[in-house]
């Protein structure tokens, strides 16, 4: 009879408490599926007295995370405290040095220290599993690391932040401003009191850096990701996107290019017919493009106690089965360095919204500046204040008039040079709105 896998959990918040409950509920199934039992034998948390609705009789309370990581009675150290550094980092390092396996849902820590921790896991023989760090219940880590091990990946992209997707969904459906939707998201608990980490794109960037490492064999480097948030998106951009056959999403995109791996997070227009465009509210999704396969899209809840706990327990079950995958799918010494790709080299289509002055020759000036940079226009719409639409050559009824352009594939550098020239010509007011387009 194989002895049960003995688990120690650091952190008994929403996710940690749900992991304890899930292991208790699924004990029989876990034993059948893994060939051995799984038991929580020790825990630690900031407050032992807090009521959590858990039966922890017979479970040892460690005095702190480091003591739990050094406990010889546990086989697996489960870190659910959060934070990119100590105490989580020191405790995980200690557990790995002790030859224990580690399971974590900590995206910030993996994005900052993942390569270093993977080297420790390789050296001392433990597993380092972190499925819950990206997309919660969506099994994207296993898909990239194991399911597609024989496939050359070209691009991985997705909706990786439920808060931003909820805000954009509400803005589109109800015509509300960003500020209105953000306030409501905070009221409902989808956004933090200080929401900048989510809405400015940094949460998505951390997750994307992890996916890029798995997809392309690079060292995890959040600093290599170009980041823009969604606060500049206005209801008129979403209305225009709808009329033009697109939907706006905050995407994290990692793609192999001739000059290296491009990693970027920004608002993006995607065709309304695409799988990723159908993902609404707080749901997350990841699409993978690779050799010999059509695009694969994984969709599911990207956050929440139950969803995150299910991924944590799945990682524990792998360890119980004896599965030891390399943390990033390749030996650490074979992972390549990657640097921040200059966005001026990015090529693609662009949505451009300008507030054009009601002056003779304005449209011709804009067209000339774009042509100078060899930018071809796929469509151009002039929107009058009364809601009518007309070609750019129509006579405007008031000033300024919104002009919306959709370009064919061009470079970011060319777009910025053209718009800088247009601003210097003083035929537009305010700052142009520019949103990148992902066609496929």
pLDDT digits (tens, 9 = 90+) for 284-297: 999 999 999 999 99
Q: Say yes or no: 63 and 92 in one domain.
A: yes
Query: Rounded distance, CA 7 to CA 2, Å?
Result: 15
Higher pLDDT, 32 or 388: 32
- The answer on pLDDT for 55 being more than 90 is no
> Using one digit for the tens of pLDDT, what is the confidence trace for 71-101?
999 999 999 999 999 999 999 999 999 999 9
Who wins on pLDDT, 436 or 399?
436
- Shared domain check, 356 and 273: no
Q: Are 165 and 43 in a shared domain? A: no
Least confident of 237-241, 265-269, 299-303: 299-303
Look at residue 323 and tell me whether its pLDDT is greater than 50: yes
- Shared domain for 168 and 205, answered yes or no, is yes
What does the pLDDT read at residue 382?
76
Last residue of a domain, one of 133, 168, 191: 133
Looking at per-residue pLDDT, the higher value among 379 and 30 belongs to 30
Beta strands in 210-327 (DSSP E): 226-227, 246-257, 260-271, 283-290, 293-301
Q: Domain for residue 279, yes or no?
A: yes
pLDDT at 393: 45
Same domain membership, residue 433 and residue 347: yes
Reported confidence tier of residue 343, pLDDT bands at 50, 70, 90: confident
pLDDT for residue 385? 56
pTM of the entire predicted model: 0.92
pLDDT band with cut points at 50, 70 and 90 for residue 49: confident
Instruction: Give the HSE-up count for residue 364: Cα atoms under 13 Å, Cβ half-sphere.
Output: 4
The verdict on 169 and 273 lying in the same domain is yes
Are residue 155 and residue 289 in the same domain, yes or no?
A: yes
Query: Structural domain of residue 378, as residue ranges?
Result: 343-437
pLDDT in tens, 357-374: 988 888 899 999 999 999
Q: Of 133, 152, 176, which residue sits at a domain end?
A: 133
Do 160 and 66 lie in a common domain? Answer: no
For residues 372 and 255, membership in a common domain is answered with no
> What's the pLDDT band for 383 if we cut at 50, 70, 90?
low
Residue 384: its pLDDT value, please? 62
One domain for residues 186 and 294: yes
pLDDT at 167 over 90: yes
Q: Does the pLDDT at position 392 exceed 60?
A: no
The CA distance from 336 to 358, in Å, is 53
Confidence of residue 251 (pLDDT cuts 50, 70, 90): very high
Task: For residue 310, give the nearest of 45, 22, 81 by alpha carbon.
Answer: 22
C-alpha Rg value of the chain to the nearest Å: 25
Last residue of a domain, one of 133, 167, 192: 133
* Three-class HEC string of 372-419: HCCCCEEEEEEECCCCCEECCCCCCCCCCEEEEEEECCEEHHHHHHHH
pLDDT at 386: 53
CATH no. for residue 372? 3.30.70.260
Number of domains forming the structure of the chain? 3
Confidence of residue 303 (pLDDT cuts 50, 70, 90): confident
| Residue 239 in this model has a pLDDT that exceeds 90 | yes
Q: Indicate if 347 and 282 belong to the same structural domain.
A: no
Q: Per-residue pLDDT averaged across 256-275, rounded? A: 92
Residue 333 lies in a domain: no
Question: What is residue 11's predicted lDDT score, i.e. its pLDDT?
Answer: 97
Tally the residues of the chain. 440
Q: Is 207 a catalytic residue?
A: yes
Q: Say which of 100, 142, 207, 219 is annotated catalytic.
A: 207
Residue percentage of the chain with pLDDT more than 90: 82
Given a cut of 90, whether residue 347 has pLDDT beyond it is: no
pLDDT at position 396 is 41
Is residue 330 assigned to a domain?
Answer: no
CA distance linking residue 247 with residue 227, whole number of Å: 20
Mean pLDDT of the chain: 92
- CB-count burial class (<10 Å; 0-12, 13-18, 19+) for 154: middle
Q: Does residue 306 form part of some domain? A: no
Per DSSP, the three-state class of 219 is coil
For residue 394, what pLDDT is reported?
A: 44
């Amino acid at each position: 009879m194989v002895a049960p896998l003995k688990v120690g959990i650091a952190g008994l918040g929403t996710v940690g408490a749900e992991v304890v409950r899930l292991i208790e509920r699924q004990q029989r199934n876990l034993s059948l599926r893994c060939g051995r039992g799984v038991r929580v034998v020790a825990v630690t948390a900031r407050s032992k007295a807090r009521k959590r609705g858990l039966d922890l009789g017979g479970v040892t309370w460690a005095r702190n995370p480091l003591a739990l990581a050094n406990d010889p009675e546990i086989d697996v150290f489960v870190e659910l405290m959060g934070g990119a550094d100590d105490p989580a980092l020191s405790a995980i390092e200690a557990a790995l040095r002790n030859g224990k396996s580690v399971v974590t849902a900590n995206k910030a820590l993996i994005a900052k220290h993942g390569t270093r921790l993977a080297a420790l896991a390789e050296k001392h023989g433990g597993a380092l599993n972190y499925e819950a760090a990206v997309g919660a219940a969506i099994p994207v880590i296993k898909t990239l690391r194991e399911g597609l091990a024989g496939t050359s990946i070209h691009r991985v992209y997705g909706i990786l932040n439920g808060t931003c997707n909820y805000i954009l969904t509400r803005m589109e459906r109800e015509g509300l401003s960003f500020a209105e939707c953000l306030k409501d998201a905070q009221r409902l608990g989808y956004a933090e009191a200080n929401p900048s980490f989510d809405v400015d794109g940094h949460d998505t960037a951390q997750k994307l850096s992890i996916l890029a490492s798995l997809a392309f064999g690079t060292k995890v480097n959040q600093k290599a990701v170009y980041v823009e948030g969604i606060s500049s998106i206005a209801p008129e951009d979403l209305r225009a996107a709808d009329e033009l056959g697109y939907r706006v999403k905050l995407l994290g995109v990692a793609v192999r290019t001739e000059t290296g791996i491009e990693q970027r997070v920004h608002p993006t227009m995607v065709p309304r017919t695409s799988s990723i465009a159908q993902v609404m509210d707080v749901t997350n999704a990841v699409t993978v493009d690779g050799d010999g396969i059509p695009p694969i899209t994984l969709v599911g809840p990207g956050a929440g106690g139950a969803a995150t706990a299910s991924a944590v327990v799945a990682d524990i079950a792998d360890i119980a089965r004896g599965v030891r995958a390399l943390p990033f799918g390749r030996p650490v010494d074979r992972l390549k360095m990657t640097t921040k790709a200059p966005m001026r080299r990015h090529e693609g289509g662009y949505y451009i919204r300008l507030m054009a002055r009601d002056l003779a020759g304005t449209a011709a000036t804009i067209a000339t500046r774009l042509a100078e940079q060899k930018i071809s226009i796929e469509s151009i719409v002039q929107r009058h204040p009364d809601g009518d639409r007309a070609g750019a050559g129509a006579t405007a009824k008031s000033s300024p008039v919104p002009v919306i352009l959709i370009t064919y594939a061009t470079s970011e550098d060319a777009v910025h040079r053209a718009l800088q020239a247009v601003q210097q010509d003083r035929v537009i007011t305010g700052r142009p709105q520019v949103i990148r387009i992902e066609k496929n």
